């Protein structure tokens, strides 16, 4: 089909598409008016406009892919913007080269291993400043030890981060097998995209880059080489041991998951499609809606996004506070709506003891947490009495002390928690050649702990398992990633068993799952070098000023009853016999609650009906004469009668 017949065939669709846009409901939060769109386009003018041989600055895409002042192109059916420039600009990937944590950490690694500082920098820039790195290597301008931080600081294309052309120039060449930022870059300035037959009447003329359909853009493989990272272990003297350590394996974790088989790609979650498509460019004005993947690209790192927003001037970032806020809101929504399910339920309880089971189920397409080894998630569990008094608390957090009860060295993975100084932390802990915990990436030699929650369908029999294995302690836990003996639940169950003396009334159990992207303990060792690096000192002061409160991912509550037995069918009554001054209390069994509770005397005369919560908490029978009575519980399809005695 020639281009002209193609356009002619689809012209009627343009009208239908616009009709839908005009009648769509409003979404005020993300909808830009004419003035805001113009202001944003102006701000976007600050993006890099450098033109390289193989890459071009993201500022050169603004003309046609920034928010449309007329509100017609690059909007969804509600009129909210889906401009890739607007969405991408305040993400971590867009800011990966100016990220102050990253810059500080590169200096830290170089200070620990000064003899090969430059080759370390050449590794770090491959993924965090790919346009600068590949441009320098492909054009032969990189120095003998590669593309360094000094090169980057002078290079706008590198500082553009993971710019538009960093992703859109990736060729489809053995993508699944790549790692460490080893990207196959297209040498003819092709800009691959996700929809068939893009119209190239303007784009290549203005930018030198030709829009072309590439099926690989729709698949996880295009993310693989930057989201698979291994290092060459160094000993404490800085000598390579010849060993390889798998530091980040997000892509491989996804390969070993049910999402892979179900065709749920990275893009399905991180670049959700616009329903009904969107017009891909603001020029020319006769385009029709196409498949459109929103460039949300958020994970869990709300902490660094806030830190960047609050230091945007110092860091020379181009995104506006409004853009940061919407990326932060998306990140928090991804953590709170798409990350984990949490449940808490009471187990059989013997006198003087409470037992609750907490289940955490990972919903993400890879481990939770995944990615950078600093990330962690922890469970907070609180038991409160009838008067709201705290009976037990594991996993509380404070700005000064972090996670309460966390061991100074390594907090074990727990299957059962019985004391407040035990806390469940899902994390990866790196060990150096001597087996000590380390936060120096290049020293990672062994996995001391990795109980991050595997994705659903994760299997220890998978060919990629050796790169994504579960750490030593969690591997022995029979209900970690296993349900009824079979593997792949993507969940962990743990029990909280608490003695509380003779707590005789109902209790409340609350479980909370928290997430921390950059915990203090992980960066402290680096801050020890702040007198030797301005970048470390700069990040330290931003970090100290930031709000480090963990993000609440999920919360679940349950009530607990003394003497509860989930497997029993018969309810009981306590105390029985009951004497003056005591309250009549029903002890539930099973999960079904009675609809009606009635008190009778032995002759069968109804004395009163009692409310369920009253009966569970304790009902006064002070006005009853001594003698024998009955209580009748009426359930949906059965009833139960208990005889009781007032003495
Ligand atoms: C294979 C590509 C790749 C290479 C090479 C790489 N990184 Fe990263 N890095 C990533 C990815 C992907 C993330 C984000 C993962 C996440 O969000 O959990 C990341 C995150 C980070 C972060 C956390 C940033 C934040 O804002 O929280 C730091 C610090 C960091 N990297 C330092 C380094 C250093 C130092 C090097 C060189 C020794 C390096 N990286 C090399 C891919 C890479
Ligand atoms: C002069 C306007 C203009 C500029 C500037 C421009 N584009 Fe485009 N772009 C277009 C048009 C027009 C299309 C095709 C829309 C269609 O066919 O519906 C397009 C399509 C695309 C596609 C989709 C290809 C596909 O098949 O899915 C990608 C990817 C793309 N552009 C990336 C970029 C990048 C990256 C830049 C900056 C280097 C850029 N564009 C700059 C006008 C432009
Ligand atoms: C992290 C990699 C990445 C970055 C950075 C990125 N894109 Fe994309 N982009 C993609 C992928 C993947 C798709 C295909 C999504 C799909 O169709 O499922 C895409 C699709 C597109 C499309 C076509 C819509 C579609 O769904 O096919 C346009 C236009 C586009 N990108 C422009 C840009 C511009 C402009 C920038 C810079 C502001 C940019 N992209 C930055 C990965 C990226
Ligand atoms: C089923 C949906 C889903 C799929 C598929 C998926 N992700 Fe995620 N991803 C999430 C959610 C939800 C989060 C936030 C929770 C978290 O941090 O793990 C996340 C977080 C991340 C993070 C930050 C990790 C952290 O904890 O700091 C990275 C990096 C990431 N995803 C990359 C990828 C890549 C690359 C792929 C494909 C190989 C992918 N994701 C596939 C849902 C998904
Ligand atoms: C050129 C290398 C590169 C490519 C290609 C790439 N990423 Fe990333 N990605 C990174 C780096 C580096 C970071 C960390 C940036 C930082 O924190 O400073 C990152 C961070 C992320 C995050 C974490 C954001 C957060 O809030 O925690 C997600 C999610 C993500 N990438 C998804 C994707 C997806 C999906 C793709 C494929 C469509 C992809 N990436 C392709 C290098 C890349």
pLDDT digits (tens, 9 = 90+) for 25-42: 333 345 667 777 777 777
Mean predicted confidence (pLDDT) in 505-513 = 92
The span from the CA of 488 to the CA of 362, in Å, is 11
Out of 434-448, 489-503, 549-563, the most confident range is 434-448
The span from the CA of 363 to the CA of 425, in Å, is 18
The span from the CA of 21 to the CA of 73, in Å, is 10
192 lines ligand 5 (CB under 6 A): no
Mean predicted confidence (pLDDT) in 90-94 = 98
Least confident window among 17-31, 123-137, 520-534: 17-31
CA 579–ligand 3 middle distance (angstroms): 74
The span from the CA of 585 to the CA of 625, in Å, is 18
Whose CA is closest to atom 8 on ligand 5? 93
CA 586–ligand 4 middle distance (angstroms): 47
The span from the CA of 469 to the CA of 460, in Å, is 7
* Res 525: pLDDT: 95
Q: Which of 406, 395, 449, 445 is nearest to 427 (CA)?
A: 449
Q: What is the mean pLDDT of the chain?
A: 91
Q: Which atom of ligand 4 is nearest to the CA of 223?
A: 35
Q: Which of 586, 580, 572, 576 is nearest to 624 (CA)?
A: 580
**Ligand 3 interacting residues, C-beta cut-off 6 A:** 58, 61, 65, 84-85, 88, 93, 162, 164, 166-168, 193-195, 217-218, 222, 267, 271, 280, 291-293, 295, 297
The span from the CA of 428 to the CA of 367, in Å, is 11
Mean predicted confidence (pLDDT) in 52-69 = 95
pLDDT at 9 over 80: no
CA 622–ligand 5 middle distance (angstroms): 67
Q: Do 562 and 574 contact (CB within 8 A), yes or no?
A: yes
Q: Do 517 and 302 contact (CB within 8 A), yes or no?
A: yes
For the record, the structure tokens of 197 come out as 């037959």
CA 101–ligand 1 middle distance (angstroms): 9
Q: Which of 15, 508, 86 is nearest to 279 (CA)?
A: 15
Neighbours of 154 (CB within 10 A): 9
The span from the CA of 370 to the CA of 178, in Å, is 18
Q: Would the CA dihedral through 105, 110, 111, 113 be positive or negative? A: positive
For the record, the structure tokens of 282 come out as 């603001």
Estimate to the nearest angstrom the gap between the alpha carbon of 227 and the chain centroid.
15
Neighbours of 473 (CB within 10 A): 17
The span from the CA of 265 to the CA of 272, in Å, is 10
Per the model's pLDDT, the better-predicted residue between 45 and 494 turns out to be 494
Least confident window among 539-543, 561-565, 580-584: 561-565
Q: Do 458 and 253 contact (CB within 8 A), yes or no?
A: yes
Least confident window among 87-91, 416-420, 626-630: 626-630
Q: Do 50 and 81 contact (CB within 8 A), yes or no?
A: no
How far apart, in Å, do the first and last CA atoms of the chain sit? 95
Q: Which atom of ligand 4 is nearest to the CA of 338?
A: 12
Mean predicted confidence (pLDDT) in 190-197 = 97
Burial class of residue 2, CB neighbours in 10 A (0-12, 13-18, 19+): exposed
pLDDT at 1 over 90: no
- List Cα–Cα distances, 53 to 139, 140, 209, 347, in angstroms: 8, 12, 11, 65
Out of 234-248, 342-356, 558-572, the most confident range is 234-248
pLDDT at 526 over 60: yes
Q: Which atom of ligand 1 is nearest to the CA of 299?
A: 17
CA 292–ligand 3 middle distance (angstroms): 8
Whose CA is closest to atom 36 on ligand 5? 223
Q: Which of 280, 321, 453 is nearest to 375 (CA)?
A: 453
For the record, the structure tokens of 351 come out as 């006198």
Mean predicted confidence (pLDDT) in 391-401 = 95
CA 84–ligand 3 middle distance (angstroms): 7
64 lines ligand 2 (CB under 6 A): yes
Q: Do 79 and 27 contact (CB within 8 A), yes or no?
A: yes
pLDDT at 248 over 60: yes
* Res 15: pLDDT: 31
CA 411–ligand 1 middle distance (angstroms): 24
pLDDT at 502 over 70: no
Mutate to test the pocket of ligand 4, among 216, 299, 468 (most ligand atoms within 8 A of CB): 299
The span from the CA of 627 to the CA of 580, in Å, is 12
* Res 36: pLDDT: 74
């Amino acid at each position: 089909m020639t281009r002209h017949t193609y356009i002619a065939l689809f012209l009627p669709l343009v009208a239908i598409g616009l009709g839908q846009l005009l009648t769509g409901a409003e979404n005020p939060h993300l909808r830009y008016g004419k003035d805001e769109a113009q202001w944003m386009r102006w701000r976007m003018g600050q993006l890099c406009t450098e033109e390289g041989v193989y890459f071009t600055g993201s500022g050169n895409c603004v003309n046609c892919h920034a928010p449309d002042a007329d509100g017609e192109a690059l909007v969804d059916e509600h009129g909210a913007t889906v401009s890739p420039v607007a969405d991408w600009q305040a993400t971590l990937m867009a800011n990966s080269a100016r990220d102050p944590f990253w810059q500080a950490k590169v200096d830290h690694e170089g200070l620990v291993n000064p003899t090969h500082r430059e080759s370390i920098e050449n590794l770090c820039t491959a993924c965090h400043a790919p346009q600068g790195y590949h441009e320098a290597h492909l054009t032969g301008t990189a120095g003998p030890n590669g593309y360094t931080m000094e090169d980057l600081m002078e290079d706008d294309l590198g500082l553009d981060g993971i710019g538009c052309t960093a992703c859109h120039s990736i060729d489809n060449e053995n993508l699944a097998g790549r790692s460490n930022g080893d990207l196959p870059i297209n040498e003819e300035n092709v800009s691959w995209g996700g929809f068939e037959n893009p119209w190239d009447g303007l784009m290549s003329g203005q930018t030198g880059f030709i829009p072309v359909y590439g099926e690989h853009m729709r698949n996880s493989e295009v993310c693989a080489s930057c989201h698979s990272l291994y290092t060459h272990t160094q000993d404490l003297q800085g000598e390579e041991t010849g060993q390889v350590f798998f530091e980040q394996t997000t892509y491989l974790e996804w390969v070993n998951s049910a999402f892979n088989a179900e065709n749920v790609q990275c893009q399905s979650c991180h670049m959700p499609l616009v329903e009904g498509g969107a017009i891909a460019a603001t020029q020319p004005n006769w385009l029709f809606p196409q498949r459109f993947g929103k460039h949300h690209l958020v994970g869990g790192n709300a902490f660094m996004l806030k830190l960047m927003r609050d230091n945007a001037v110092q860091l020379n970032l181009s995104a506006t506070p409004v853009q940061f806020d919407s990326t932060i809101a998306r990140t928090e929504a991804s953590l709170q709506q798409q990350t984990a399910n949490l449940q808490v339920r009471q187990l059989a309880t013997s006198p003087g003891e409470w037992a609750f089971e907490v289940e955490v189920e990972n919903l993400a397409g890879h481990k939770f947490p995944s990615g950078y080894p600093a990330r962690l998630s922890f469970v907070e569990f609180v038991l409160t009495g009838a008067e709201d008094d705290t009976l037990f608390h594991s996993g509380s957090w404070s700005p000064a002390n972090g996670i309460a009860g966390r061991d100074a060295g390594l907090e074990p993975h727990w299957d059962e928690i019985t004391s407040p100084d035990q806390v469940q932390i899902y994390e990866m802990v790196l060990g150096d050649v001597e087996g000590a915990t380390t936060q120096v990436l290049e020293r990672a030699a062994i996995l001391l702990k990795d109980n991050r929650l595997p994705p659903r369908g994760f299997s220890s029999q998978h060919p990629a398992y050796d790169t994504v294995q579960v750490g030593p302690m969690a591997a022995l836990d029979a209900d970690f990633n296993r349900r009824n003996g079979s593997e792949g639940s993507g969940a962990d169950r743990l029990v909280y068993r608490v003695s509380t003396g003779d707590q005789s009334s109902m209790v409340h159990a609350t479980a909370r799952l928290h997430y921390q992207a950059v915990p203090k303990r992980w960066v402290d060792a680096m801050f020890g070098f702040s007198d030797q690096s301005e970048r470390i000192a700069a990040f330290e002061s931003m970090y100290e000023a930031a709000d480090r409160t963990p993000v609440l991912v999920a919360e679940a509550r349950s009530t607990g009853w003394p003497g509860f037995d989930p497997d029993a069918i018969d309810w009981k009554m306590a105390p029985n016999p009951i004497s003056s001054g005591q309250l009549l209390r029903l002890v539930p069994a099973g999960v079904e609650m009675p609809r009606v509770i009635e008190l009778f005397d032995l002759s069968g005369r109804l004395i009163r009906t009692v409310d369920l919560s009253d009966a569970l908490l304790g009902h006064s029978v002070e006005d009853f004469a001594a003698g024998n009575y009955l209580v009748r519980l009426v359930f949906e399809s059965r009833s139960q009668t208990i005889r009781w005695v007032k003495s």
